Amino acid sequence: ILASPKKQRMASEGVAVAGYSPELSKALKSVVKIFTTMASPNFSSPWQMCQQTKCTATGFVIAPLSSRRILTNAHAVANEVAVKIRKHGSAQRYTARVLAVGHECDIAMLTVDDDDFWADMVPLEINGLPAMQESVMVVGFPTGGDNVCVTKGVVSRIDRSTYSHGRTTLLAIQVDAAINSGNSGGPVILGDHVVGIAFQCLTSGENIGYIIPVPVINHFLEDLERHGGKYTGFCELGVSWQSLENEGMREVLDMPKGLTGVYITKTEPLFDASRQLMAGDVLTHFNGVEIADDGTFLFREAV
């Protein structure tokens, strides 16, 4: 369904269109559908590639518009051969270029060289971390149809989680909004700004979806800015540790009652942490935050 020029102009100005809220109208002028043709490496025959496959995903334009940046998931463009982008309300597909890919955080940045693509796009601001039970809106192009789809849910958990694409453990937000294949890379909206990127769901559960939070997104963006558009990744502490839940170990280490932490078993010599820590130390705080005996810490106080 193509919107009339008048409705397109109203949406670009942040005015509600056809019963849509101003926030949704703005998001619809930013969200895009991504068509990727990919060919994975053939590890048994490394001189050739596997057969090409196709997939679809979602992306969105981020502020400022002059930077011409589109964010999506890394797994949506991994091993890409060609990437096409289609705006909401348009049938035309534009050729896109992959600028950077962060496989461990499952974020990729794209751009489109055609000036016509950016004529009526509205960028979205990335800001904030939602609280528990706050309502969020997921916008994307999941399976089950060709047009845009909007679902709503609440934030049910903020925790470290395993990112299935990069096999790393980073901060993630669990929501009960429907996130299906094709939603990957879509913006998660709270008010008039983006609070996350939809990227995976738990297939063995019901209505358990996960989004990449703003701190992880900002790290990706700042990393690119700091290193001239090159993604270098997330740092590691460079130590191995074990929990101190055993009372006998705590007594041997002469730990006073009430003090918690983890026992350092090994430090990597090439990491900066080896200059301050050594095997046998007890790490009690990190950046001023108390570490529990099982290695966990309180992310933030409930209010």
- Give the residue numbers annotated as catalytic, written as ranges: 75, 106, 184
Q: Which of 144, 126, 107 is CA-nearest to residue 30? A: 126
CA–CA gap between residue 27 and residue 151 (Å, rounded): 13
Q: How far apart are CA 26 and CA 16, in angstroms?
A: 8
Dist CA 246 CA 97 (whole Å): 53
Residue 162's identity, in one-letter code, is: T
Q: Which alpha helices (H) appear in the chain, and where do they start and end?
A: 5-12, 22-28, 74-77, 214-226, 247-252
How many Cα atoms are found within 13 Å in the side-chain-facing hemisphere of 181? Answer: 7
Q: In Å, how far are 87, 100, 107, 111 from 103, measured between CA atoms?
A: 25, 10, 7, 18
State in Å, rounded, how far the first CA of the chain is from the last one.
44
For tokens 């090409």, the residue is 52
Pairing of strands 31-38, 53-62: antiparallel
Structure tokens at 87: 């705006």
At residue 105, φ and ψ (nearest 5 deg) are: -100, 0
Residue pair 238/267 in contact by the 8 Å Cβ criterion: yes
